[in-house]
Chain A
Amino acid sequence: MRKNIRLITGAASALAIAGAVAFFSNIAIAEGDKKAASDEHKEGKALAFDRKKGNCLACHIIKGGEMAGNIAPPLMMMKARFPKKKDMKAKIVDPRITKPNTIMPPFGAHSVMSDSEIDKVVDFIYSL
């Protein structure tokens, strides 16, 4: 019981911070859109690189990202790895499905990102 409360408060405050970050980055993106409406994965890329959101670069090399860690395989040619996009999404929502003890955070299962944010990240990663 105690544990649950702790987890929920933790998640709630993380969400509060996350909310604030999303708010600011949305403004940035809205302004960016006026300049370059063509870049369709811009938001997903920003979420994937944002230290408070995906922070995928902490562990994965991703094209266009700097200072990547080397804990995990580079995210490239994802269509070949995951013929079905929804399988790749499932891995990001909860990577424990294929590797129970993985270091990769359960982004959906622990509400690190919202479902729509994850969809944007998925679209970006799947394009690589």
Chain B
Amino acid sequence: MNKVTKIIATSVVFGLLPFATVQASPDEDLKALQGFFEKKFPDVKDGDFINGVYAIDEKSREQWEEMEEMPPYELAVDEGKELWAKKFGNGKTYADCFKQDLADIRVAYPYHDEDKDDIMTLEGAINSCRKDNDEKPLKWKKGKLAKLSAYIAFEGRGKKIDVKVETDKAKAWYEEGKTFFYAKRGQLNMACADCHVYYSGNMIRGDLLSPTLGHTSHFPVYRSKWGSLGTLHRRYGGCNKQVRAKPFKAQSRQYKALEYFEAYMSNGLELNGPGSRK
């Protein structure tokens, strides 16, 4: 593609973004975006963005806090714990696949694997573990995989998100996720950033829009709308469908890049999964 069209395309996407200059490093993007949200929501206390819309809406926060006293994901965490301990056909367990202590697993993902040049997600690592032990992979968006993820998230609560983008290859994944996030898509022609940056804090019909900061901190999530637990990529698919775009598959290249970008933007925030949402 020639340079001129490329520049035009980018300036349409980033045109109104004071902070997302084309040449910015991930670190500059991070500072600019976090600064943007601090200004936009001056009342949100340090670190509270992990609570999504409840960080910016007192009324629904009260109901949510009541719900969290008897968390709807509690049973799923227990089931995840059983699954985690259950032996594979060969006598091994998940614990044999992960080199970290249980409490350090959640915070280790997502990361860029330089040799494979791929983004490793927690869900991806769980299914790789099964494959390495001759077990069938689990479905990506809900069910057993989400329960295992919930248990690992629960045990890993309180650690701070610390995603690294250090090499050129990692930077390319980051850029891919960033471009996806700011690009218009679907018949309704909306970007993630339209709803979760520019108009976050506004109502779209009956729904308050959350800031992207903290989006990855609390997954998997129990959503009352789903009536079950779902992974981050399940949610991504739902948000693509809302704008009548064809969703990508869970763990597709596109969603891994998106997770890498969104998680990087939440660096410094605490992990608080699993979560519950409307």
A interface list, Cβ under 8 A from B: 6-7, 9-11, 14, 51, 55, 57-59, 67-71, 100-101, 103, 105-106, 110-112
Closest to A112 in B: B187
Q: A10-B244, A100-B12, A100-B15 are in contact. Are A105 and B203 (CB under 8 A)?
A: no
CA distance A18 to B191 in the complex (A): 22
Contacts of B194 in A (CB 8 A): 103
The verdict on A103 contacting B246 (CB below 8 Å), with A10-B186, A112-B187 known, is no
Cβ-defined partner of A103 (8 Å) among B15, B198, B205 = B198
Contact B187 A111 (CB under 8 A): yes
Cβ contacts A to B, 22 pairs, < 8 Å: A9-B246, A10-B186, A10-B245, A10-B246, A55-B205, A57-B205, A58-B204, A67-B205, A67-B206, A68-B203, A69-B205, A70-B203, A71-B199, A100-B15, A103-B198, A103-B199, A105-B187, A105-B188, A105-B189, A110-B187, A110-B188, A112-B187
Shortest CB-to-CB span from A20 to chain B, Å, is 15
A6 to B203, CA, bound (A): 30
Q: Which of B16, B190, B204, B246 has the most CB of A within 10 A?
A: B204
Is the Cβ of A101 less than 8 Å from the Cβ of B16? yes
In contact, A6 and B205 (Cβ under 8 angstroms): no
The answer on a CB contact under 8 Å between B205 and A68 is yes
A80 to chain B: closest CB distance in Å? 25
Q: Does any Cβ of A come within 8 Å of B202's Cβ?
A: yes
Which residue from chain A places its CB closest to the CB of B209 in the assembled complex? A71
Contact, CB under 8 Å: B202 / A71: yes
Most buried by A among B15, B187, B202: B187
Within 8 A of A (CB), among B122-150: none
Chain B contact residues (Cβ within 8 angstroms of A): what range?
20 to 34
Residues of A within 8 A of B16 (CB): 101
Whether the pair B199, A14 counts as a contact (CB closer than 8 A) is: no
Report how far A75 CA is from B186 CA in the complex, Å: 25
Interface pair B205/A14, CB less than 8 Å apart: no
Assembly CA distance A6 to B219 (angstroms): 30
Given the known interface contacts A10-B244, A10-B245, the answer about A69 and B202 at a Cβ–Cβ threshold of 8 Å is yes
A-facing residues in B161-201 (Cβ within 8 Å): 186-190, 194-195, 198-199
Nearest A residue to B14, CB-CB: A101
Q: Are A112 and B188 in contact (CB under 8 A)?
A: yes
Bound-complex Cα distance A59 to B43 (A):
24
In the complex, are the beta carbons of B204 and A69 less than 8 A apart? Answer: yes
Interface residues of B in 1-45 (CB under 8 A from A): 12-13, 15-16
Tell me the complex Cα distance, A35–B209, Å.
Answer: 40
State in angstroms the CA–CA spacing of A9 and B190 once bound together.
18
Inter-chain contacts of B205 with A (CB < 8 A): 51, 55, 57-58, 67-69
- Most interface-central of A55, A67, A103 (chain B CB within 10 A): A103
Q: Which chain B residues border A106 with CB–CB below 8 Å?
A: 189
List residues of chain B with CB within 8 A of the CB of A68: 203, 205
In the assembled complex, the Cα of A99 lies from the Cα of B246 at a distance in Å of 25
CB distance from B179 to the nearest CB of A (A): 14
CA distance A57 to B205 in the complex (A): 6
- Nearest-neighbour CB distance to chain B for A119, whole angstroms, equals 20
Q: Is the CB of A71 within 8 A of B204?
A: yes
Q: Give bound CA distance, A7 to B185, whole Å.
A: 9
Which of these, A14, A58, A70, contacts B187 with CB under 8 Å? A14
- 3 closest Cβ pairs, A-B complex: A105-B188, A103-B194, A58-B205
Whole-angstrom distance between the alpha carbons of A9 and B187 in the complex?
10
